[in-house]
Chains A and B, each alone.
Chain A
């Protein structure tokens, strides 16, 4: 009996903090994508350039804002994660759906608007750039779809739980 109520209470914690689980994931996803972009593509591979002569002013501003935001988001989302843990409210499926949505959305924005429209820099300075662009943006879309799939699953679970509570 006690074990049962305990389990139930964990579950309702997860539900009452479902939004925070999602946002912690989204922020971490944005931070993770930006962090990988910086370490992998700028520092290790040297594919991305720090500054591209064709960068528009809007591109410079957008890049700066996203860089600052993702820097804060990485740290903030991990504190949110710790907060969910101390409240017994961590719901990993929902958190991962947020991570995939956040990382995918950031990568898609980076790959379309920032790279192509604002021309902050290209993925790699080579001839068959189109292949890199395609892989980059398709990966982003796949992440968004996977995140959306997990999100729908957690929503169904929440509905089911509410139904059980009513019975």
Chain B
């Protein structure tokens, strides 16, 4: 194995260490258990939880785990294209699926009143406002990627397991903050206008696309040209695919919020309900 990693062009000979994989996997396994427990408690309180949200959460966890532990994570450590696939799963698809699973709504339902209040106070706090501001979240997300791929950081990451853990945790957290800063599925105390979110989303999407093409033309240190090209293209089109869903949901919410009054009434009336009169 050590020799193949040399053939693949990385200066490091070390495989991805097991403890790094375990440390990155544990929070996601924990999140899966917590979510399941919350569904259970919510049912006990006679507040059923939609099945499709559970599916979304599980799928999100699976995407994230695939990127940080097991064969894909191992390959990603040696092959830039695989690394980019992992990046799409961990930083874009998993956060989107998990945000769509509305975890905060579920926790607020399942927690006893005192703790639910504490959680909602946390969501209302000023650090939460700063971190879920669209510009701040975009800078954390796309800005972090620019630093990773245009400096020697990417190469150093492969030599240092601590750095590997830190960067992968950052990619997921920044991706999640970015998603919840753009689309409001959960209760969002600090709301921003649709226009502000739309403009920031376009800028962030542009930053992602520009970086993809930059990587195509300027491989990060230690990455062979062929891998940089296929990785850059995967990043470009994969990013488009996930962002398409975010753009669609943002526009859908925008569309609903501007519904004219008569339409809102018509929309709410259930055509199958029998008229009481």
Contact = CB atoms under 8 A, between A and B. Distances in A.
B247 A51 contact: no
Nearest to A83: B255
Contact of B210 (A50, A61, A69, A82): A61
B251 interface: yes
Contacts, number: 67
A72 B202 contact: yes
A64 B216 contact: no
Interface string A32-65: 0000000000000000001101010000110111
Contacts of A115: none
A51 B255 CA distance: 36
A68 B258 CA distance: 24
A-side interface size class: 20 to 34
Contacts of A68: 202-203, 205-206, 209
A157 interface: no
B-side interface size class: 20 to 34
Contact of A64 (B207, B243, B252, B263): B207
A79 B209 contact: no
Contact of A82 (B201, B216, B255): B255
Contacts of B210: 60-61, 63-64
A153 interface: no
Given A61-B210, A68-B202, A82-B255, A75 B217 contact: no
B254 interface: yes
A71 interface: yes
A86 B260 contact: yes
Interface of B: 198, 201-203, 205-207, 209-210, 213-214, 216-217, 229, 232-233, 236, 240, 243-244, 247-248, 251-252, 254-255, 258-260, 263
Interface of A: 50-51, 53, 55, 60-61, 63-65, 67-69, 71-72, 75-76, 79, 82-83, 86-87
